[in-house]
Structure 1
């Protein structure tokens, strides 16, 4: 998931010119420091930026959008985001049995890890059996592999050095796409999975944190992490053992080095791009007009497509306690768990104004958890409920639910409590600052006070997924054309959705979590859709999930922006996909891209 925003600063007019001078100087210095080349030693490289630091170098535990794994690892298959189809990766082919219960993958010949050791079926079986499907290891993917009503896990076995068989408990349409999961090196991790610490937990849990020396990281993807300077940059170099070759037999990727500059805000990265220090820049809406006017002069091209990460606001509906303390203040929990309250909030947010002002009209108002680009999308004309701006309707719903107003037009609950709650998001973006500010202003018009708070992304992820002590939040999940890719966001069986989350394996337990009837029904429908191979029937099932999601509204969908990427004309071979724009590595076909002088 990715949540973004910017921390507000108070700077006096006297100091501002000095700070701008220092900032510009640092940007120029940074530009020269990342271009490790001279006229006598040219380096074929691409330089971009990331907002924040990686959380881990162990792909099994990654929870953040800022991560290295799109460059350093591959799975058995890869999704083509342009066509939506599953394509071969480490596996050159596969065969699905007639009863849809068995899939046999055939690995490519000659696969190697970045240390030169062979990559075989043993690595694949180890990755799935000992890590991803191991109940003792709280990976972020184990729950996504639980299949059907029984939540049974698939089985995996080695047939020979190049063939692996997965055995499913029941037919499961999305399973092939789930084998995009990164394959890990058995010769590196096997001992740490078997060895236990003093608490009896696998030592693997502590392997490959961000303090691990980069020369110890073994990969199978197109790149190796060569250098990590905390707070400054990550540098990747081409993996000499990567398997891909072009039609002429030339090794891929073509780019020798990729540099990620770590920046504190999108303003910083924009300045670096305009000064020539970056080759690629993901554009905020407010920057589009400026950069579009300078497109020819700046020798770059702007790519744009509808986003795969619609913005939404989410309520914490979890009624559970941890160590005797409620995750959410019981007073506020009663508000959030009142459907009329959530619907009133939806009616009170002026999303069209948000689109026009914050996003400069570059996108559309979003109404569904399933992308409009998806063949399973249910449109408003087909019966999807929408919440167009109507503050009067919002007030009527609140009064109907027992809320009331005092003489200052402040909203009070039935016990006389002032309705006030916090809204959190990540730091670093003016766009999310503007979204939060507008939500705060819009809700004040119906008497609700909002405390808008931004925080660094790693702290936000920890609060949302681990401590779970939050009230409301907004941000975005990277979505897909296949709705089941977000099954974990909507089904209570897979650890629960963000709005009613169960703690992941290895975290402190909670007591008293409740699953509403509508939430359980959505979970059942997702399970049905995953077993239905008829496309028309699958669409009808997903239509029901969207109707329930919009009626009970645990998440209020806001805007689906245009995803925009400015790329130097020296970068050739791009097959642009908006799905990858917000991700650190930006390009899904990085192995095909070339840098020309």
Structure 2
């Protein structure tokens, strides 16, 4: 297995306590208490089998669970599966489920729920899981506590596909035989996690309380977790300064506020918890319509973007300028040519070559705060400077989901999680089978290249890492030529928190997968 590096080396320590006062850790967790966090923006839904926006995953990761968790090196750890075996030929995976686990409504969890989730629910709702199941020959349940996958061929990333972000376990007794998208339990989620939903007051807060039947003895330590919805960026910073909230998860405060807040007494900062997701931001370029259907126009967009300036000014130096479709923090990354340095002259030459007529284009920002709005303004200025007029169309999260899912845009901001392996988090944005109208987390740009489809298929099941690397290098080279999207930045989202909060992040999926361990020092 590979090891991962910090999302931004050297800029911040992975976990720093800052300020004049030294905070001494207590060895024994304190039981009870309430943890107040910010969630920004408000999630459109907590049914993460259907909606996988970052804010949804942040909150609902305490409600739903996967079969496995992952450490910072992406090594698997037990969760709903307490143990597992892999056959010598890497074709059979046997998972032994925990006994005595209950959903938060009191109903027992069993292999029936796993079978339903993997063969019916997620194959319909989740493009990430649908891609995984393409490599499965059979899935069987010999008893209530065992599930056995038999693969069509060895599939290297398979063991990393059981995070709650990719395959959350859904209660079969509430969803079997229903319209998944319209099921009323989408508004009152039921999972096996350490917390359950008490109340969601739209526009104000989401209140989770301790699941009294949680399977992990002595967990969670906290009695309650409250996610505050605070639309105004300045107010979010103030809420942390006054300790109305004790945690600002990554991305919940504007980048320009982080250095100031981090200097306050008793404040800790960490970039940990993004190792699995390794988020990569880019601009979807709608390949279906002119002029985005012309590769030279898409290349011109890349040359027009001053990405180093964006990283320095808009993101305050956090993160790293992207060099292509795979982040440098997951396996099989390679920096290949062509690279697209900031070159407005080259952009203008390409636009002149294709006879671009100056048609105005619609730019859809991500509705995740002022940082993203500023980023959209910089992109607009960069494109206007080479003769591409852009109109910014702002919307809320639900509107962004709707427009991108229905392909109603010209250029749109997004970022997608890499999910620990290109086969899990990268392929879905470029292969033809993932051009699925109605889903904003797949091949939304509409790029289709049979060669790329075949290479992604071969890379996923190649026998050795060396063979996989060779194929992924070819994939990255071809995509760099085709520019189906305009890659922007490998994102880093530092979290700020009161140093009295302990064990806030204990997995590679960060706060969303760790609050069962968290506790507050008295």
TM-score under structure 1 length normalisation:
0.75
Q: Deviations over 1:335-383 (max 9, x none)?
A: 111111111111111112212221222332211221111231112xxx3
Partner of residue 197, structure 1: none
Partner of residue 564, structure 1: 494
Partner of residue 395, structure 1: 348
Contact 1:121 1:161 in 2 (8 A): yes
How far apart, CA to CA, are the structure 1 residues paired with 2:140 and 2:466? 34
How far apart, CA to CA, are the structure 2 residues paired with 1:377 and 1:562? 17
Matched, 1:206 2:182: yes
Structure 1 position 209, deviation (Å): 5.3
Structure 1 position 572, deviation (Å): 0.9
How far apart, CA to CA, are the structure 2 residues paired with 1:504 and 1:353? 32
Q: 1:262/1:371 Cα in 2 relative to 1: closer, same or farther (>3 Å)?
A: same
Matched, 1:551 2:481: yes
Matched, 1:437 2:377: yes
Match of 1:384 among 303, 317, 337: 337
Partner of residue 457, structure 1: 397
Match of 2:173 among 187, 196, 218: 187
Matched residue SS, 2:184: coil
How far apart, CA to CA, are the structure 2 residues paired with 1:54 and 1:361? 27
Contact 2:61 2:512 in 1 (8 A): no
Contact 2:64 2:192 in 1 (8 A): yes
Partner of residue 38, structure 1: none
How far apart, CA to CA, are the structure 2 residues paired with 1:526 and 1:477? 17
Partner of residue 414, structure 2: 475
Q: 1:561/1:171 Cα in 2 relative to 1: closer, same or farther (>3 Å)?
A: closer
Matched, 1:588 2:513: yes
How far apart, CA to CA, are the structure 2 residues paired with 1:263 and 1:206? 28
Contact 1:50 1:262 in 2 (8 A): yes
Matched, 1:238 2:210: yes
Partner of residue 259, structure 1: 226
Matched residue SS, 1:400: helix
Aligned residues: 478
Structure 1 position 112, deviation (Å): 2.0
Structure 1 position 387, deviation (Å): 0.9
How far apart, CA to CA, are the structure 1 residues paired with 2:90 and 2:270? 40
Match of 2:367 among 390, 403, 427: 427
Contact 2:160 2:420 in 1 (8 A): no
Match of 1:317 among 263, 277, 287: 287
How far apart, CA to CA, are the structure 1 residues paired with 2:258 and 2:46? 34
Matched, 1:161 2:86: no
Q: 1:241/1:209 Cα in 2 relative to 1: closer, same or farther (>3 Å)?
A: closer
Partner of residue 22, structure 2: none
Matched residue SS, 2:49: helix
Structure 1 position 391, deviation (Å): 0.9
Larger-gyration structure (1/2): 1
CA RMSD of aligned residues (A): 2.6
Matched, 1:270 2:195: no
How far apart, CA to CA, are the structure 1 residues paired with 2:216 and 2:433? 35
Partner of residue 29, structure 1: none
Structure 1 position 587, deviation (Å): 4.8
Matched, 1:177 2:160: yes
Give matches, 1:496-575, under 5 Å: 496=435, 501-503=436-438, 516=448, 519-575=449-505
Matched, 1:65 2:54: yes
Match of 1:85 among 71, 75, 82: 75
Partner of residue 109, structure 1: 99
Q: 1:97/1:284 Cα in 2 relative to 1: closer, same or farther (>3 Å)?
A: same
Partner of residue 224, structure 1: 196
How far apart, CA to CA, are the structure 2 residues paired with 1:575 and 1:130? 32
Matched, 1:304 2:280: no
Contact 2:132 2:424 in 1 (8 A): no
| Alignment gaps of 5+ in structure 1 | 1-41, 194-201, 246-250, 319-332, 404-412, 581-585
Structure 1 position 221, deviation (Å): 0.7
Structure 1 position 176, deviation (Å): 2.7
How far apart, CA to CA, are the structure 2 residues paired with 1:514 and 1:277? 44
Matched, 1:123 2:123: no
Partner of residue 198, structure 1: none
Bigger CA drift: 66-75 or 91-100?
91-100
Contact 1:157 1:165 in 2 (8 A): yes
Contact 1:127 1:186 in 2 (8 A): yes
Q: Deviations over 1:407-434 (max 9, x none)?
A: xxxxxx3xxx433201101224121111
Structure 1 position 504, deviation (Å): 5.8
Matched, 1:373 2:340: no
Q: Deviations over 1:539-576 (max 9, x none)?
A: 11111111112111111112234321111011012446
How far apart, CA to CA, are the structure 2 residues paired with 1:260 and 1:77? 25
Matched residue SS, 1:455: coil
| Alignment gaps of 5+ in structure 2 | 1-30
Structure 1 position 463, deviation (Å): 0.9
Match of 2:424 among 467, 477, 485: 485
Contact 1:264 1:428 in 2 (8 A): no
